[in-house]
Structure 1
C-alpha cells in the first residue's frame, strides 16, 4: 500500500545520484529536547513491506533518551519483546553545528551493527531525515519523520520509496507518551 497521506518534503539529487540534504533555517541542537526522558510506545508496524499489504502488527515498547556531548547529541534505548524474545535497540543522534544537520544512527540486538545514518532537520517541530539504503535487494530511499507538535505525545514514523521519492510506503508508526 503506497500512500502520500503524510507530507514529505521534495527530495533532490546531485549529478552523481546522491541525496542533497539541506538543513532548515531553524535547525538546532535542541530539536530533540521534547524526547528527553522516558516514554511508553504503541508501535504499529507493517507486516510485509512493498507487498501492497495493509496488515499491521501492533506491540508495546519503552524508550529512554538522554543528552550527550554537551547537548549536541543524544542516545536512547528502545526495549520490546518480539515473539517472546527480548529485543533492544539503540539510537545515537548527532547534531553538526556547522551544517545544522542531524545524523541518526540505529543499532539493535539482532545485528549488533550501526546502520547508515538518516540525515535531516526539523522545521516547525516536524523533522524529516533521509538516507539511501537497500531493502531485500532493492535500492530504496527511507525517511524518518518526527512529529513533535504535541511534545508529550510525539509520533515517529518511517517510510520507504523504491521510485526515488515519487511514492512512499509508510511501514512503521510509534505513538509515544511521556512518563516523566
Structure 2
C-alpha cells in the first residue's frame, strides 16, 4: 500500500501512504545536442515506471501512532485490510485505494500520484473521503531503491514537515513509513507504518 492521507479517526492526522528518477540535464556542448533529447526521453519513461511493481491488490497491515508530536509515542492503533493500485494515463499517474479497519475504527482513502517529467519526480496527494478535500502533496523520487517524499503541512495549527518513505523489500513485500517533524526536519517522529504483501498483480 502507499498513500498520503488524513485519518478518519478521532486522533488528529495520518498520512498514508507514497517515487521517481533524477532528471537528466541536457548539455549544449557541440556534438551532444542531438543525443540529449534521447537521454531525457529515456529518463522520463523510466521514471513513469517507478510504480509498475505495485500495480495490483495488496494485503495491508497498518500501525498508526494515536497522537503524533504529543510527547507520547506509546499508543499505537492497528488496522488491516487492502490496498488496490491502478495505473492511469499510460503510467503518468496511478491511484491507490486504501480500505483498512480494526478495533479503533476504519480508514478509507485515495492517493493520487502524478509524475512530473520536467522535474523527474512524483507528487503524492491524498483525497480525504471524510471531507472531500485534497491534502498538501509530498514530492520526491527513489534513491538507491528507497522512495523519499517530503512536504509541508499543519498539525493542530502549527507548521510541520512531512516525510514519507517507501521500501520495496523484495517482490512480495513493501513497507511504507510516515513521519512528522516540528523542528524543521532536524528530528522526525514516525507515526504510520504499513506493510503490504500481494494478493494478486495485474495491469
Shift of 1:82: 5.9
In structure 1, the residue matched to 2:32 is none
Query: CA offset at residue 107 of structure 1?
Result: 1.1
Q: Answer yes or no: is 1:114 the counterpart of 2:125.
A: no
Structure number having the greater helix percentage: 2
Separation in 2, partners of 1:163, 1:23: 28
Name the structure with the higher strand share: 1
* Structure 1 outlier segments of 4+, above 4 Å: 82-86
Task: Provide the residue aligned with 2:150 in structure 1.
Answer: 130
Q: Under a length normalisation based on structure 2, what TM-score does the superposition of the two structures give?
A: 0.72
Larger Rg: 1 or 2? Answer: 2
Q: Which has the higher contact order (CA 8 A, sep 6+)?
A: 2
Please say if 1:143 is aligned against 2:163.
yes
Cα-Cα RMSD: 2.0
Unaligned runs of 5+ in 2: 1-19, 24-42
What is the CA deviation profile of residues 52-107 of structure 1, one whole-angstrom value per residue up to 9, with x for unaligned ones? 22211111021100110111110111012366765420011011111101000101
Aligned residues: 159
Partner of 1:11: none
Give, in whole Å, the separation in 2 of the partners of 1:140 and 1:94: 23
Provide the C-alpha distance between the structure 1 equivalents of 2:170 and 2:191, rounded to a whole number of angstroms.
22
Q: Which residue of 2 aligns with 1:63?
A: 83
Q: Assess, with a 3 A threshold, how the Cα gap between structure 1 residues 119 and 112 changes in structure 2: closer, same or farther.
A: same
**3-state SS in 1 of match to 2:53:** helix
Where do 1:19-38 residues align within 5 Å? 24=22, 28-38=47-57
- SS, match of residue 133 in structure 2: coil
Residues 152 and 69 (structure 1), Cα distance of their counterparts in 2 relative to 1, 3 Å cut? same
Distance in 1 between residues matched to 2:82 and 2:97, nearest whole Å: 8
| Equivalent residue for 2:64, pick from 45, 58, 71 | 45
